């Protein structure tokens, strides 16, 4: 995530805390606290940090959300945003994560969004990420009225303009066409797992994307939700839709061949102290941002030509072997293993030993075909074409 995005996110944290406290006070409607003894006649400004009691309370909500959305998944598709405690936990913990994930995906788009629609917005992390990335007309749409109300309150607190609409897949989409439409962590909650219905919805949504614009679909980096997204991708790719990112391969997704494979992204970020303390309390890890995503082009637009040479996106973490470094790469030729022995390391291929998931590389020189992969040696070269989260340059 860029420094600008990290600074923008820091600016949101006090607003999220203030709004959460207001919602909590309205919910508990406890008696007003008497003024402290000693006759202070002014109100102290609210602390920008959560108290230990507040952390405990939010942590319990995060645990319930995390369990329900990622482990047992009993909350997926349920109206958990209408439960004030869960909505509060979402606001303080998942909102900053989704915001940061979305900023890092928006930076990969070929154009800056002006008109943006955020479907399944919840309290609007992707909508506000779009606004901070330059969108001037933004609509957040969700079925949860309380979540949309929080998004409106955040718009007031930040003096940003945001439209809100109640929406669910059986209702018409908000009017108009958009440069960017975002769907953050919502597709996996729809249609009870029916891939065809999800693909039909995505196709309908793509009709509302302006020429040159993009639909950004982001999903949790879990094996099942990632594979389901890849299946939706395959339905659309078979119908001729182009993927702008992350795929360089234009055929059926090779990560679906083996049931144990999947594909997800990982981005580094400056974790806000609030996220750090809440993650620790709930026993979760958010040191890096992990998500699965697709950036789709509207109907009739061609796939971008890949950069010249043999290019591949790194789609695994470093897979260390005895005396050698390995990665999985996926490029116009498909998904292949890449390996190089430590003893072949030199100035021309050194970068291979420091690659990150999501980077696009060009391999050159002599590369040996090895089974279904490529063996690099001291006669191979490795260049970085695009960092994770950067648009792949046009040839």
Ligand X SMILES: C[S@@+](CC[C@H](N)C(=O)[O-])C[C@H]1O[C@@H](n2cnc3c(N)ncnc32)[C@H](O)[C@@H]1O
Answer for which of 81, 202, 294, 355 binds ligand X (CB under 6 A) is: 81
Judged by CB under 6 A, the stretch of 152-160, 181-189, 238-246, 310-318 that binds ligand X is: 181-189
Q: Are 381 and 370 in contact (CB under 8 A)?
A: no
Q: Which residues, 109 to 138, sit near ligand X by CB under 6 A?
A: 120-122, 125-126
Return the number of the residue (167 or 327) whose C-beta is nearest ligand X.
167
Rounded Cα gap, residues 325 and 319, in angstroms: 6
Return the number of the residue (125 or 329) whose C-beta is nearest ligand X.
125
Rounded Cα gap, residues 201 and 317, in angstroms: 32
Q: Are 162 and 152 in contact (CB under 8 A)?
A: yes
Answer for which of 61, 169, 331, 358 binds ligand X (CB under 6 A) is: 169
Q: What is the dihedral of CA 150, 216, 266, 338, to 10 degrees?
A: 170
Judged by CB under 6 A, the stretch of 131-139, 161-169, 347-355, 381-389 that binds ligand X is: 161-169
Question: What is the closest distance, in whole angstroms, from the C-beta atom of residue 94 to ligand X in the complex?
Answer: 5
Return the number of the residue (190 or 391) whose C-beta is nearest ligand X.
190
Question: What is the closest distance, in whole angstroms, from the C-beta atom of residue 96 to ligand X in the complex?
Answer: 10
89 binds ligand X (CB under 6 A): no
Answer for which of 189, 203, 261, 359 binds ligand X (CB under 6 A) is: 189
Question: What is the closest distance, in whole angstroms, from the C-beta atom of residue 120 to ligand X in the complex?
Answer: 4
Write out the two tokens for 249: 């391969």
Question: What is the closest distance, in whole angstroms, from the C-beta atom of residue 93 to ligand X in the complex?
Answer: 10
Nearest C-alpha neighbor of 118 from the set 94, 99, 92: 99
143 binds ligand X (CB under 6 A): yes
334 φψ region: left (φ > 0), alpha (ψ -120 to 50), beta (else)? left
Question: What is the closest distance, in whole angstroms, from the C-beta atom of residue 98 to ligand X in the complex?
Answer: 3
Return the number of the residue (82 or 320) whose C-beta is nearest ligand X.
82
**252 CB-near residues (< 8 Å, 6+ apart):** 234, 237, 238
Question: For the chain, what's the residue count?
Answer: 395
Rounded Cα gap, residues 312 and 361, in angstroms: 5
Residue of minimal Cβ distance to ligand X? 184
Whether a cis peptide bond, with omega within 30° of 0, leads into 135 is no
| Binding track, positions 93-112, relative to ligand X; x by CB under 6 A | -x---x--------------
How many positions of this chain bind ligand X (CB under 6 A)? 21
Rounded Cα gap, residues 58 and 330, in angstroms: 40
Answer for which of 23, 66, 104, 144 binds ligand X (CB under 6 A) is: 144
Q: Are 110 and 302 in contact (CB under 8 A)?
A: no
Contacts 24+ apart (CB under 8 A), 324-327: 325/352, 325/353, 327/352, 327/355
Question: What is the closest distance, in whole angstroms, from the C-beta atom of residue 259 to ligand X in the complex?
Answer: 25
Return the number of the residue (224 or 383) whose C-beta is nearest ligand X.
224
Rounded Cα gap, residues 388 and 359, in angstroms: 5
Return the number of the residue (148 or 237) whose C-beta is nearest ligand X.
148
Q: Which residues make up the interface to ligand X (CB under 6 A)?
A: 77, 81, 94, 98, 120-122, 125-126, 142-144, 147, 167-169, 184-186, 189-190
């Amino acid at each position: 995530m860029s420094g600008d995005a990290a600074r923008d996110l820091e600016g949101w944290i006090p607003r999220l805390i203030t709004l959460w406290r207001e919602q909590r006070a309205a919910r508990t409607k406890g008696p007003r606290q008497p003024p402290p003894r000693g006759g202070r006649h002014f109100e102290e400004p609210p602390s920008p940090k959560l108290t230990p009691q507040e952390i405990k309370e939010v942590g319990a909500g995060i645990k319930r959300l995390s369990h329900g959305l990622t482990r047992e998944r009993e909350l997926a598709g349920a109206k958990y945003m209408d439960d004030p405690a869960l909505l509060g936990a979402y606001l303080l913990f998942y909102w900053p994560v989704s915001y940061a994930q979305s900023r890092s995906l928006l930076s990969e788009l070929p154009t800056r969004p002006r008109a943006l629609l955020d479907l399944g917005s919840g309290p609007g992390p992707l909508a506000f990420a779009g606004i901070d990335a330059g969108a001037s007309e933004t609509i957040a749409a969700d079925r949860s009225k309380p979540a949309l109300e929080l998004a409106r309150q955040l718009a007031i607190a930040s003096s940003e303009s945001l439209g809100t609409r109640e929406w669910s897949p059986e209702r018409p989409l908000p009017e108009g066409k958009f440069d960017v439409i975002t769907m953050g962590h919502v597709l996996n909650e729809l249609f009870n797992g029916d891939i065809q219905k999800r693909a039909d919805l995505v196709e309908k949504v793509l009709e509302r994307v302006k020429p040159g614009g993009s639909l950004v679909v982001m999903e949790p980096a879990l094996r099942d939700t990632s594979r389901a997204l890849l299946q939706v991708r395959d339905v659309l790719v078979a119908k001729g839709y182009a993927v702008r990112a992350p795929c360089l391969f234009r055929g059926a997704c090779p990560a679906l061949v083996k049931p144990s494979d999947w594909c997800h992204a990982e981005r580094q970020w400056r974790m806000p102290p609030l996220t750090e303390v809440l993650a620790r309390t709930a026993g979760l890890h958010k040191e890096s941002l992990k998500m699965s995503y697709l950036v789709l082009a509207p109907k009739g637009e061609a796939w971008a030509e890949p950069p010249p040479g043999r290019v591949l996106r790194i789609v695994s973490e470093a897979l260390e072997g005895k005396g050698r470094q390995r990665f999985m790469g996926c490029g116009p030729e498909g998904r292949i293993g890449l390996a190089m022995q430590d003893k072949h390391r030199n100035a021309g291929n050194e970068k291979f030993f420091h690659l990150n998931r999501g980077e696009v590389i060009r391999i050159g020189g002599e590369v040996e075909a090895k089974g279904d992969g490529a063996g690099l040696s001291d006669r191979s070269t490795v260049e970085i074409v695009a960092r994770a989260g950067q648009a792949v340059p046009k040839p």
